[in-house]
């Protein structure tokens, strides 16, 4: 996307009019901002086996004040494991700020999934990990959005027992007895805690699956699947929707925002310059996403004596009496541009 603005000088109606008798007075140009575009950044689970992983980071670009987020918790492991929850939310933000993102893993065995999944016992499946955003630190207390993970599957004498769904304000769990899903104030019975699902244990008739990770983790028991972890939205979330039990596999997260693009100001030396002399034109970009790159284009009869891709160029002015228009374009790190013609 590219937009041009045209300016004339108060001196003889043009910017660089270079008749031999004319003294050129160069002045400061006002800034011009490029138009924005919608940008989506995706974060996937980054571990190797569903149980490991590491935090990821998102730095809010200059000029961005609102983010739209879609987050998915991970599914538990085992036959008919509980699916992860989904959270759709709008966040009000203030750059420069860096958010820390944890994407939950789906385990492939009885071990709990990355980011809070509880362990299954023996052949029972582990709980899926939660996906969350943290602001101001990396502790569980810094979470501002959580999508809960699903519970791992278990079994009893009747055969496999499915894990319960993750997500929602209360994670999925048994209608009667245990395990119970995590909620907004406590982990589910048995064993669910802040951020972490409970561990399944062996019973007389079968093993229990692990609870899903979440804002509060889902509980676990014997002879049954693990319960789901709860989802959560807190400040600075301004709008949200929770959906329970919709995601297969690993967790994931997308952040969408409107980049305002860079702003561009052009400055010229203030001293009067006679035809045949030189002048320095300097471009300064702000906003958008770094790094910036610059491209200058000179009119016929004018020589750039410094690289055309520099932020500042030295111009050698000829002796013809024509108006000289120069073009400078800045591109930011997302390929948004702003262009000035002077």
- For residue range 26-84, what is the model confidence (pLDDT) as tens digits? 333 444 555 568 899 999 999 999 999 999 999 998 889 999 999 999 999 999 999 99
Phi-psi region of 335 (alpha: psi -120 to 50; beta: other; left: phi over 0): left
Could you tell me which of 288, 297, 303 has the C-alpha nearest to residue 337? 288
Asked if 100 and 140 touch (Cβ cutoff 8 Å), the reply is: no
Tell me the CB-side half-sphere exposure of residue 227, using CA atoms within 13 A.
36
Tell me the mean pLDDT in the region 117-134. 98
Phi, psi (rounded to 5 degrees) for 77: -105, 160
Rounded CA-CA distance 189/307 in Å is 68
Neighbours of 293 (CB within 10 A): 14
- For residue range 129-140, what is the model confidence (pLDDT) as tens digits? 999 999 999 999
Give yes or no for residue 272 having a pLDDT over 80. Answer: no
Q: Whole-structure pTM over 0.85, yes or no? A: no
- For residue range 219-268, what is the model confidence (pLDDT) as tens digits? 999 999 999 999 999 999 999 999 999 999 999 999 999 988 788 888 87
Share of the chain above pLDDT 90, in %: 63
Neighbours of 232 (CB within 10 A): 25
Asked if 168 and 231 touch (Cβ cutoff 8 Å), the reply is: yes
For residue 151, count CB atoms less than 10 angstroms from its CB and return exposed for 0-12, middle for 13-18, buried for 19 or more. Answer: buried
């Amino acid at each position: 996307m590219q937009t041009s603005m045209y300016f004339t000088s108060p001196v003889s109606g043009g910017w660089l009019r270079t008749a031999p008798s004319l003294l050129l007075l160069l002045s400061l140009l006002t800034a011009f901002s490029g138009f924005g575009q919608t940008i989506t950044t995706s974060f996937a689970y980054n571990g190797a086996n569903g149980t490991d992983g590491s935090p990821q980071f998102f730095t809010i670009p200059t000029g961005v004040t609102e983010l739209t987020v879609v987050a998915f918790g991970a599914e538990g492991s085992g036959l008919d494991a509980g699916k992860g929850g989904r959270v759709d939310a709008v966040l009000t933000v203030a750059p420069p700020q860096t958010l820390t993102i944890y994407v939950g893993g789906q385990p492939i065995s009885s071990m709990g999934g990355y980011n809070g999944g509880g362990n299954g016992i023996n052949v029972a499946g582990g709980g899926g990990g939660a996906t969350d955003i943290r602001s101001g630190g990396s502790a569980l207390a810094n979470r501002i959005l959580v999508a809960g993970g699903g519970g791992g599957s278990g079994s009893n004498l009747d055969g496999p027992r499915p894990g319960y769904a993750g997500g929602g304000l209360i994670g999925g769990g048994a209608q009667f007895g245990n395990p119970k899903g995590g909620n907004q104030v406590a982990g589910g019975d048995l064993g669910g805690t802040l951020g972490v699902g409970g561990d399944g244990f062996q019973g007389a008739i079968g093993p229990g699956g692990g609870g899903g990770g979440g804002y509060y983790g889902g509980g676990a028991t014997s002879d049954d699947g693990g319960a789901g972890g709860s989802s959560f939205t807190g400040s600075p979330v301004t709008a949200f929707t929770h959906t329970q039990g919709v995601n297969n596999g690993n967790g994931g997260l997308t952040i969408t925002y409107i980049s305002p693009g860079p702003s561009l100001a052009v400055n010229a030396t203030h001293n009067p310059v006679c035809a045949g002399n030189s002048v320095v034109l300097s471009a300064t970009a702000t906003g958008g996403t770094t790094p910036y790159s610059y491209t200058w284009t000179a009119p016929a009869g004018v020589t750039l004596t410094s690289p055309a891709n520099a932020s500042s160029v030295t111009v050698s002015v000829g002796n013809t009496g024509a108006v000289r228009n120069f073009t400078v374009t800045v591109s930011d790190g997302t390929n948004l541009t702003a262009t000035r013609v002077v």
